[in-house]
């Protein structure tokens, strides 16, 4: 585990256990090993509060800086990562 402070624990349809952490990003346990995802993998923030799975099996993560959807194979790299959905503001 990346940190001891966990906001949310979620079991996905495949039986993986996901941990939304305060400062450590997201940890996932597949029954054998832990994998950690952070801003380096595309999360908007390492403070992740919520995890939900939609009807299509997509995992969504609510962070302190925006919403992300988890992708097993990102088109650019073929590796797991996140697509960010953030509101941008512009100055007047």
Residues whose CB falls within 8 Å of the CB of residue 89, separated by 6 or more in sequence, listed in order: none
Residue 48 near residue 5 (C-beta atoms within 8 A): no
pTM: 0.83
| Residue boundaries of the structural domains of the chain | 6-84
What would the pLDDT profile of 24-80 be if each residue is shown by its tens digit?
999 999 999 999 999 988 899 999 999 999 888 889 999 988 899 987 766 677 677
CA 11 to each of CA 17, 19, 29, 67, 76: distance values in angstroms, whole numbers, following the listed order:
5, 9, 9, 19, 28
Specify burial of residue 24 (Cβ count, 10 A radius: 0-12, 13-18, 19+).
buried
């Amino acid at each position: 585990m990346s940190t001891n402070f966990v906001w949310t624990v979620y079991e996905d349809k495949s039986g993986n256990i996901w941990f939304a952490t305060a400062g450590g990003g997201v940890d996932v346990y597949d029954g054998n090993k832990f994998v950690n995802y952070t801003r380096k993998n595309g999360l908007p923030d390492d403070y992740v509060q919520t995890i939900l799975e939609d009807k299509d099996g997509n995992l969504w993560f609510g962070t302190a800086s925006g919403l992300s959807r988890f992708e097993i194979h990102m088109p650019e790299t073929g590796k797991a990562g996140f697509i960010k959905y953030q509101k941008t503001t512009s100055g007047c």
